[in-house]
């Protein structure tokens, strides 16, 4: 049974999610402030965390940073702070996903299921031992070690989901993908209301890998999506 840690100082939200999560067969544990969230992560070893931002003692941003010091558990931020800057901040400190309040409980359940499936897919399998590396001009990715090099310089501030997205683009260069397709291929689910998370990740990747020497770009195809375009 997968274990979900729900962190929110609003006990009504905790109870609502508890009902839906238990109906899906999850074990649920709770924390009601950021400090308790960090301690419960160490004690309970959850499979995934749903983490509110505005909380007492320490907020969700700080709790996420502290958890990332000792755990790679998937973290979904759950907050009323809905600006693009807030989302980028959450992703940059190590969150894997971002859901804005008010939310549909079924959306949260779908996102949790998608992230847990991806974690299960990472489990070692004998038939999946091939090296996952790709190189396009001055950009290199080793997905086994999650290392990215640009102009032979190691880029250390890319988040795991950004690296996965970039790897997918590089192994499918010059192909156009809609936001929905990218969610399906990289995030592992189809969700009709969450395509903005693709835009946030791509904006962040562009900023971290900007260079005048690049012979490639993640190009926006208006009214369609994106492609990793390589200049011949």
Q: Count other C-beta atoms under 10 Å from residue 212's C-beta.
A: 4
Is 65 exposed, middle or buried, given 0-12, 13-18 or 19+ CB atoms closer than 10 A?
Answer: middle
The residues spanned by each domain of the chain are 3-121, 128-230
Answer whether the bond into residue 102 is a cis peptide, omega within 30°: yes
Tell whether pTM > 0.85: no
What pLDDT was estimated at residue 214?
85
Q: Note the CATH number of domain 128-230.
A: 1.10.10.10
Class of domain 3-121: alpha beta
pLDDT tens digit sequence for 166-223: 999 999 999 999 988 898 888 775 444 467 888 999 999 999 998 767 889 999 999 8
Looking up tokens 């399906």 gives 184
What pLDDT was estimated at residue 168?
93
């Amino acid at each position: 049974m997968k274990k979900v840690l729900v962190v929110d100082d609003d006990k009504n939200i905790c109870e609502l999610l508890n009902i839906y999560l238990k109906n899906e067969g999850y074990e649920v544990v709770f924390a009601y402030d950021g400090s308790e969230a960090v301690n419960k992560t160490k004690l309970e070893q959850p499979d995934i965390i749903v983490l509110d931002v505005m909380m007492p003692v320490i907020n969700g941003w700080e709790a996420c940073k502290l958890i990332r010091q000792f755990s790679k558990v998937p973290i979904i931020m759950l907050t009323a702070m809905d600006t693009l800057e807030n989302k980028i901040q959450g992703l940059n400190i190590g969150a894997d996903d971002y859901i804005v309040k008010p939310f549909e409980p079924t959306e949260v359940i779908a996102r949790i299921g998608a992230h847990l499936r991806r974690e299960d897919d990472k489990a070692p399998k004998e038939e999946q031992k091939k090296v996952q590396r790709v190189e396009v001009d001055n950009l290199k990715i080793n997905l086994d070690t999650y290392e990215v090099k640009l102009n032979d310089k190691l880029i250390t501030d890319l988040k795991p989901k950004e690296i996965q997205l970039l790897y997918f683009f590089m192994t499918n260069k010059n192909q156009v993908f809609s936001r929905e397709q990218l969610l399906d291929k990289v995030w592992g689910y189809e969700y009709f209301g969450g395509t903005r998370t693709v835009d946030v990740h791509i904006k962040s990747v562009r900023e971290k890998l900007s260079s005048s020497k690049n012979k490639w770009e993640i190009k926006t195809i208006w009214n369609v999506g994106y492609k990793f375009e390589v200049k011949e």
